Amino acid sequence: MSLRNRLGSARGAFATRLAAVRGRDEVDAATWERLEEALILADVGVVPSAALLTLVRERAAVEGASDGDGVVEILKEEIVGRLDGADRTLSVAGAPSVWLFVGVNGVGKTTTIGKVGRRQVAQGRRVVFAAGDTYRAAAVDQLALWAERAGATVVRGAEGADPSSVVFDAVEHAAAQGVDLVLADTAGRVHTRRNLMDELAKVRRVAGKGAGTVTETLLVLDATTGQNGLVQARQFGEAADVTGLILTKMDGSARGGIVLAVEDELGIPVKFVGVGEGLDDLVPFEPGEFVDALFE
């Protein structure tokens, strides 16, 4: 099923504004204003929106795009062009590979691990979930339930245990059992908390110290996040060497425009998009599909 269909009724504000532009026979100041509004409302950000539209204007002039449809197509191409070419695969290397999930509180890390785990199990991999969120009450129980649903096993530490050691133990356990993949949960943390970001950097280091290799550090980002998303990506990137982004809750707002800035400025590719609370509500990110879903 395409991303567009998965987003269901979430499409709206953005597409509505574009529809008004598309119908127009001429391109005038109001056209550009509508386009800018549409981008800003999708959380693309005011400065990136302006920069994007400057390019679109130039191309429209050169290519002689004289109606709304033409301009919107150029805008789509520009956005897709920016997103194209990035490596969006999740990499594995030997056994076990470790994928670390990081992000601020409430973005959906634990749920995402359940969904990613499910996909990997379906592809025939043996998967262990490492319960590295030793801070949030009942986070381990939540992860264990997802493990059960996904067909993975969960390795947990004592409550309040050092997350690094929990993840390390899980990797060792996985290696001993011949497991292919360790999906490591971490506690949500606000990126301004120096000590917690240091803790995360340590988890990242320790996770690769034993038998396993950390091949992905995935930042989970809520699609309703505004301009702070860029700051989050930068800070988590510095602390834990983020290799990719998973955009969650796209079914709610169909925005997530902040990922344009994140990919553009930080070069961190979006790898998956979460579109619901079900086990299978996770789809690979594909730029054309994403832009279509936003625009149509």
Partner 1 sequence: MFESLTSRFEGILRNIRGKGRLGPEEVEEVLEEIRVALLEADVHLGVVRTLQDRIRERAVGEELAGVLNPGQQVVKIVLEELTGVLGGETMPITFASKPPTVVLLAGLQGSGKTTAAAKLARWFKAKGRNPLLVGADLARPAAVEQLRTLAGRIDVPVFSQPGDPVAVAAAGLVEARRLGRDVLICDTAGRLAIDDDLMAEIAEIAGALEPHYTFLVLDAMTGQDAVNVAEAFHERLELDAVVLTKLDGDARGGAAISVKEVVGRPIAFASTGEALEDLEPFHPDRLASRILGMGDVETLIEKAEETFEKEQAEAAAARMLEGTFTLDDFLEQLRQIRKMGPVGDVMKMVPGMGQQLKDVETDLDERRIDRIEGIIHSMTPVERADPDVIDGSRRARIAAGSGTQVNEVSQLVRQFREMRKLMKQMGGAGSKGRGRGSKRGQKAGRRGLGGRTTPRGSVKVPKKGLALPGLGGDDPWEGLGSGEPGGLGPSGPPPLV
CB of 89 to partner 1, least distance (A): 27
Helix (H, G, I), strand (E, B) or coil at 141: helix
CB of 97 to partner 1, least distance (A): 26
- Residue type for position 296: E
| Piece of 21-29, 54-62, 75-83, 192-200 that binds partner 1 (CB under 8 A) | 192-200
Which residues share a beta bridge with 244?
218
By CB under 8 A, tell whether 20 contacts partner 1.
no
By CB under 8 A, tell whether 132 contacts partner 1.
no
CA dist., res. 267 & res. 286, Å (int): 16
For partner 1, the binding residue among 1, 64, 124, 195 (CB under 8 A) is 195
* 277 phi/psi in degrees, rounded to 5: -95, -5
Number of residues interacting with partner 1: please give it, by CB under 8 A: 50
For partner 1, which is the closer residue by CB, 103 or 212? Answer: 103
By CB under 8 A, tell whether 279 contacts partner 1.
no
Judged by CB under 8 A, the chain residues 82 through 121 that form the site for partner 1 are: 104-108
CA angle 183, 189, 190 (to 5 degrees): 140
Q: CB-based contacts of 221: which residues, under 8 Å, 6+ apart? A: 103, 107, 229, 232, 233, 245, 246, 247, 248, 256, 258, 259, 262
For partner 1, the binding residue among 84, 238, 265, 277 (CB under 8 A) is 277
* Whole-number CA gyration radius for the chain: 20
Q: CB-based contacts of 3: which residues, under 8 Å, 6+ apart? A: 250, 273, 275, 283, 286, 289, 290, 292, 293
Longest dimension (CA), the chain: 67
By CB under 8 A, tell whether 30 contacts partner 1.
no
Which residues share a beta bridge with 243?
none
CB of 257 to partner 1, least distance (A): 8
Edge-to-edge, what's the strand order for the sheet holding 244-248? 153-155, 127-130, 181-184, 97-102, 213-222, 244-248, 270-274, 282-284
For partner 1, which is the closer residue by CB, 122 or 138? Answer: 138
CB of 188 to partner 1, least distance (A): 9
| Piece of 43-51, 62-70, 92-100, 200-208 that binds partner 1 (CB under 8 A) | 43-51
CB of 41 to partner 1, least distance (A): 5
By CB under 8 A, tell whether 251 contacts partner 1.
yes
For partner 1, the binding residue among 132, 212, 229, 244 (CB under 8 A) is 229
CA dist., res. 24 & res. 228, Å (int): 34
By CB under 8 A, tell whether 228 contacts partner 1.
yes
Helix (H, G, I), strand (E, B) or coil at 254: coil
CB of 11 to partner 1, least distance (A): 10
By CB under 8 A, tell whether 243 contacts partner 1.
no
List residues binding partner 1 (CB under 8 A): 8-10, 13, 37, 40-43, 45-47, 104-108, 135-139, 141-142, 145-146, 190-196, 222, 224-229, 231-232, 249, 251-253, 255, 257-258, 277
